[in-house]
């Protein structure tokens, strides 16, 4: 987009931004009701069952029919990710960075259409929807830039300090394997795309599960990844319930780590599950955030109040 939209600049956008959003919204509305498939092993795959999804603005409007993944679909996604892992892990860091930037480019070219879909699916106003879509673009670029600027986190360490001892030491970041991302309903694009980008650039393969009420955002993310040309199986997308799909992903033996955003109760249970087994597996859990703000004694209260309202 020509106007650089962020959460800080969204309060005074140019009129052209509104015109482009309105045009994209009309295009998206014209395609409502379509059937949306799973994305597994580099292919868009049908499911045995589909569920109609309506947004919170008008429950009578069907946004689309979305695939409901089965446990068999979970197995297929995990096996595809596991099969793709050795080659992706061995892909040069510069190539992984290039592909992530390509995802960002594809997504940014579609940012208005994606934002329109977010507004309908989540019920966000256009500024919040545009902010989330652009933030997701920025996540892919940020993780690519960070990984590149740190040399792929492959560094030679100082020699052994003992006199007469010569050693060769390196610090090398190694991927875990197949990484599962479970996204929430309120930021279904950014909190799927951000964790996925971080896992992908570091050499992990990814399986994303969208929230039950907001499966469209994750499907649009999968479209961008597919069209950017990532190898088959490196990124997979499933839609379905947390009880069925989410629990099957957590329990799957190929799951090497998880990023979860959601409730405290579910997050704590996931942490316990990931800590069990033959060895503990990493679990990044963001649970029940309430955006606390600290106003110091010397602060301008009017400015503080305005800033808190804007950031809410």
Q: Which pLDDT score is estimated for 48?
A: 97
Residue 136 lies in a domain: yes
Q: Which pLDDT score is estimated for 61?
A: 94
Residue 144 lies in a domain: yes
Q: Which pLDDT score is estimated for 291?
A: 75
Residue 277 lies in a domain: yes
Q: Inform me whether the pLDDT recorded for 182 exceeds 90.
A: yes
Average pLDDT value for residue range 148-177: 90
Residue 162 lies in a domain: no
Q: Which domain does 271 fall in, by range?
A: 24-150+173-290
Q: Which pLDDT score is estimated for 42?
A: 97
Q: Inform me whether the pLDDT recorded for 7 exceeds 80.
A: no
Q: Inform me whether the pLDDT recorded for 2 exceeds 70.
A: no
Distance CA(66)–CA(135), nearest Å, equals: 25
Q: Inform me whether the pLDDT recorded for 4 exceeds 90.
A: no
Tally the domains of the chain: 1
Question: Mean of the per-residue pLDDT values for the chain?
Answer: 94
Q: Summarize pLDDT for 80-96 with one digit per residue, the tens.
A: 999 999 999 999 999 99
Helix axes 93-109, 215-228, angle to 10 degrees: 120
Helix (H), strand (E) at residue 36 = strand 34-36
Residue 204 lies in a domain: yes
Residue 295 lies in a domain: no
Residue 180 lies in a domain: yes
Nearest to 13 by CA among 107, 125, 103: 125
How far CA 311 is from CA of 47, 176, 307, in Å, comes to 40, 35, 6
Distance CA(251)–CA(96), nearest Å, equals: 28
Distance CA(129)–CA(186), nearest Å, equals: 11
Average pLDDT value for residue range 4-13: 73
Distance CA(61)–CA(55), nearest Å, equals: 7
Distance CA(208)–CA(196), nearest Å, equals: 8
Q: Which pLDDT score is estimated for 312?
A: 65
Q: Which pLDDT score is estimated for 116?
A: 98
CATH code, 142: 3.40.605.10
Average pLDDT value for residue range 50-72: 96
**pLDDT over 70, % of the chain:** 97
pTM (whole model) above 0.85: yes
Beta carbons of 17 and 2 less than 8 angstroms apart: no
Q: Which pLDDT score is estimated for 277?
A: 84
Beta carbons of 47 and 68 less than 8 angstroms apart: yes
Distance CA(203)–CA(219), nearest Å, equals: 22
Helix axes 190-201, 126-149, angle to 10 degrees: 10
Nearest to 237 by CA among 214, 269, 256: 214
Q: Which pLDDT score is estimated for 1?
A: 47
Beta-bridge partner residues of 44? 39
Distance CA(68)–CA(217), nearest Å, equals: 15
Distance CA(148)–CA(92), nearest Å, equals: 11
Residue 137 lies in a domain: yes
Please state which of the ranges 3-7, 181-185, 249-253, 275-279 shows the lowest mean pLDDT. Answer: 3-7
Nearest to 238 by CA among 181, 177, 175: 181
Beta carbons of 259 and 180 less than 8 angstroms apart: yes
């Amino acid at each position: 987009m020509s106007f650089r939209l962020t959460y800080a600049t969204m309060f005074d956008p140019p009129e052209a931004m509104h015109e482009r959003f309105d045009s994209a919204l009309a295009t998206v509305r014209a395609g409502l009701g379509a059937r949306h498939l799973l994305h597994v092993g580099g292919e868009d795959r049908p499911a045995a069952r589909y569920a109609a999804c309506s947004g919170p603005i008008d429950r009578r409007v069907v946004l689309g029919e979305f695939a409901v993944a089965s446990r068999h679909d979970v197995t297929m996604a995990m096996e595809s990710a596991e099969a793709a892992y050795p080659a992706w892990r061995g892909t040069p860091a510069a190539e992984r960075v290039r592909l992530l930037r390509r995802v960002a480019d594809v997504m940014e070219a579609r940012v208005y259409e994606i934002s329109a879909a977010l507004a309908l699916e989540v019920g966000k106003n256009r500024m919040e929807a545009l902010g989330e879509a652009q933030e997701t673009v920025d996540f892919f670029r940020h993780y690519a830039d960070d990984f590149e600027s740190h040399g792929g986190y492959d560094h030679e360490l100082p020699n052994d300090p003992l006199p007469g001892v010569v050693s060769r030491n390196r610090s090398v970041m190694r991927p875990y394997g197949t990484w599962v991302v479970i996204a929430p309903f309120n930021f279904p694009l950014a909190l799927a795309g951000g964790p996925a980008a971080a896992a992908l650039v570091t050499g992990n393969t990814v399986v994303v599960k969208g929230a039950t009420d907001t499966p469209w955002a994750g499907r649009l993310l999968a479209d961008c990844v597919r069209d950017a040309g990532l190898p088959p199986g490196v990124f997979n997308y499933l839609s379905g319930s947390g009880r069925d799909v989410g629990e099957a992903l957590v329990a799957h033996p190929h799951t090497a780590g998880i990023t979860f955003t959601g409730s405290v109760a579910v997050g704590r249970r996931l942490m316990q599950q990931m800590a069990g087994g033959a060895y503990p597996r990493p679990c990044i859990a963001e649970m029940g955030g309430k955006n606390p703000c600290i106003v110091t004694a010397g602060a301008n209260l009017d400015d503080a109040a305005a800033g808190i309202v804007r950031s809410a």
